[in-house]
C-alpha cells in the first residue's frame, strides 16, 4: 500500500469478524488458521491463548514479506512511469491484479445484501483512489518521504480510535518527523507530490475501515477480488485517456504484470492471511516499518538518496506509528 505503512489501532478494533446472523464464535475458533476445520465448535476449549509459535512466526513472515513486496513493487512501478505515466501504471497494476484475483478466487456474487455490496464497493473505491494518489506522489517525490507522509492517514485514525492522551504524544512525534521533512524543504520535494501523498494517506485510512468490514462480510478472498475489480473500473479509464496504446506494448504489459503481482495481488493477499494468524495490533506494529522499507527500496531500485535529517524524520514517523498502535491496545 500502499500501499503500505502502518495499519493502525482502529484495525485492531475492527478486525474481529462481525456477523449478524451467526452466533459469536468461541475464543478458540477465532484463532483457527484458515485451513483448520471448525473442530472446536460445541465443545469447551482451553481459556489460554494459542501458542505464538509456528502460527505467530508464520504470520510475522507473511507481514514482512508483504511489506517488502509492496514497497519494491512501488519502486519497480516508478521505472514504468516514462512509458505509460503514473495513471497508466495504476491502470495496469490494478486491472491485471483484478483479473488474476477474479480468476483464482472466483468470488460468489449471489446471496449478498445491499449493505454488503455498499461496503465492498467502498473498499474498491478507497483502494483505487489510494493507488491513484500514491502513484501521483511518487512520480513527484522520493518513495521514502512519500510513504512517510502517506502513513499519517492511518496514524491519525489510530489516535482517534484510541482516545487516550498518550496517543496525542505519539501524534506529536509524527508531526515532529513531518516538520523535519519540511525543514529539508517540502517545496524541494514538490508541494503537489506531498499533497498527493497526504491524500493517499486519507484514503488509506478509509481502506483500513472498509477492508476489515469487507472481511467480515465476504468469505476467503472474495471481497478483495471484488474490490480490486471495482478499483480497476475506476482506474482503467483514466489510464486509457492518459497513456492510450502505450498500455498494450509488450514491455509495458510485462512490467505491469510484475507491478501487479508485487504491489497488489501478493501483498494484499498476504495481509489478509496474516490477520488470520496474528492479533491485529501485532500486525499493525510490523506494518509500521513501511516507511523505512520504502526508503530502502527507493535507494536500491531507484538510486534515491536521502539526507540524514530525512532518515531521522522517517524513523520518527515509524516510531510514532508503532507507539500509537501500542497505545490503542491499552
Measured distance CA(282)–CA(56) in Å, rounded: 10
Q: State the pLDDT at residue 261.
A: 86
**What is the value of pTM for the model shown?**
0.72
Report CA-CA distances (Å) from 12 to 44, 62, 172, 182, 278: 26, 18, 22, 31, 11
Supply the mean pLDDT for the chain: 77
Residues in the chain: 330
Residue 129: pLDDT band (50, 70, 90) is: very high
Average pLDDT of the segment spanning 21-26: 44
Nearest-angstrom CA–CA distance, 33 and 23: 19
Q: Which residues contact 197 (CB under 8 A, 6 or more apart)?
A: 133, 134, 137, 141, 145, 146, 147, 149, 150
Highest mean pLDDT among 45-59, 172-186, 303-317: 303-317
Asked whether the predicted pLDDT for residue 22 surpasses 70, the reply is no
pLDDT for 219 beyond 70: yes
Q: What is the pLDDT of residues 227-278, one digit of tens each?
A: 999 999 999 999 999 999 999 999 899 988 988 888 876 887 787 788 777 7
Measured in whole angstroms, the distance separating CA 187 from the mean position of its chain's CA atoms is 27
CA distance 71 to 50: 32
- Per-residue model confidence (pLDDT) at position 276: 77
pLDDT category of residue 280 using cuts at 50, 70 and 90: low
C-alpha cell at 313: 524524520
Selected residue with higher pLDDT from 328 and 175: 175
Nearest to 68 by CA among 286, 303, 304, 323: 286
b/e code 157-195 from CB counts within 10 Å (16+ = b) = bbbebbeeeebeebbebbeebbebbeebebeebbeebbb
E-assigned strand segments in the chain:
none
| Residue 4 pLDDT level (bands cut at 50, 70, 90) | very low
**In terms of Cα–Cα distance, which of 5, 59, 67 is closest to 262?**
67
- Residue 159 has a pLDDT of 72
What are the pLDDT digits (tens) for 149-207? Answer: 888 887 777 777 666 777 777 777 877 877 776 665 555 678 889 899 999 999 988 98
Q: How far apart are CA 5 and CA 74, in angstroms?
A: 13
Q: What's the pLDDT score for residue 324?
A: 67
Query: By mean pLDDT, which of 39-48, 198-207, 219-228 is the weakest?
Result: 39-48
C-alpha cell at 227: 474490490
Q: In the chain, count of helices (H) and strands (E)?
A: 14, 0
Taking residues 31-58, what's their average pLDDT?
46
What pLDDT, on a 0 to 100 scale, did the predictor assign at position 5? 37
Q: Does pLDDT of 45 surpass 50? A: no
Amino acid at each position: 500500500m500502499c500501499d503500505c505503512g502502518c495499519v493502525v489501532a482502529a484495525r485492531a478494533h475492527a478486525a474481529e469478524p462481525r456477523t449478524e446472523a451467526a452466533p459469536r464464535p468461541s475464543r478458540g475458533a477465532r484463532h483457527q488458521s484458515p485451513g483448520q476445520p471448525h473442530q472446536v465448535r460445541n465443545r469447551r476449549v482451553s481459556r489460554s491463548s494459542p501458542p505464538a509459535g509456528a502460527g505467530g512466526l508464520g504470520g510475522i513472515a507473511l507481514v514482512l514479506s508483504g511489506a517488502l513486496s509492496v514497497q519494491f513493487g512501488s519502486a519497480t512501478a516508478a521505472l514504468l512511469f516514462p512509458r505509460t505515466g503514473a495513471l497508466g501504471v495504476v491502470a495496469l497494476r490494478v486491472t491485471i491484479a483484478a483479473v488474476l484475483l477474479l480468476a483464482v478466487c472466483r468470488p460468489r456474487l449471489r446471496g449478498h445484501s445491499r449493505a454488503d455490496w455498499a461496503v465492498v464497493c467502498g473498499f474498491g473505491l478507497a483502494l483505487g483512489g489510494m493507488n491513484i494518489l500514491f502513484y501521483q506522489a511518487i512520480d513527484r517525490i522520493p518513495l521514502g518521504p512519500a510513504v512517510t507522509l502517506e502513513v499519517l492517514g492511518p496514524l491519525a485514525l489510530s489516535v482517534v480510535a484510541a482516545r487516550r492522551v498518550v496517543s496525542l504524544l505519539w501524534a506529536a512525534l509524527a508531526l515532529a518527523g513531518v516538520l523535519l521533512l519540511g525543514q529539508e524543504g517540502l517545496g524541494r520535494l514538490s508541494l503537489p507530490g506531498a499533497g498527493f501523498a497526504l491524500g493517499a494517506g486519507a484514503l488509506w485510512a478509509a481502506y483500513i475501515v472498509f477492508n476489515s468490514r469487507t472481511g467480515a462480510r465476504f468469505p476467503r478472498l472474495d471481497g478483495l477480488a471484488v474490490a480490486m475489480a471495482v478499483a480497476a473500473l475506476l482506474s482503467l479509464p483514466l489510464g486509457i485517456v492518459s497513456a492510450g496504446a502505450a498500455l498494450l506494448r509488450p514491455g509495458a504489459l510485462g512490467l505491469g504484470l510484475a507491478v501487479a503481482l508485487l504491489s497488489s495481488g501478493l501483498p494484499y493477499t498476504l495481509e489478509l492471511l496474516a490477520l488470520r494468524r496474528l492479533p491485529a495490533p501485532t500486525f499493525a506494529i510490523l506494518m509500521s516499518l513501511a516507511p523505512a522499507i520504502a526508503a530502502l527500496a527507493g535507494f536500491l531500485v531507484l538510486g534515491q538518496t536521502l539526507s540524514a535529517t530525512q532518515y531521522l524524520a522517517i524513523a520518527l514517523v515509524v516510531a510514532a506509528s508503532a507507539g500509537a498502535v501500542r497505545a490503542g491496545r491499552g
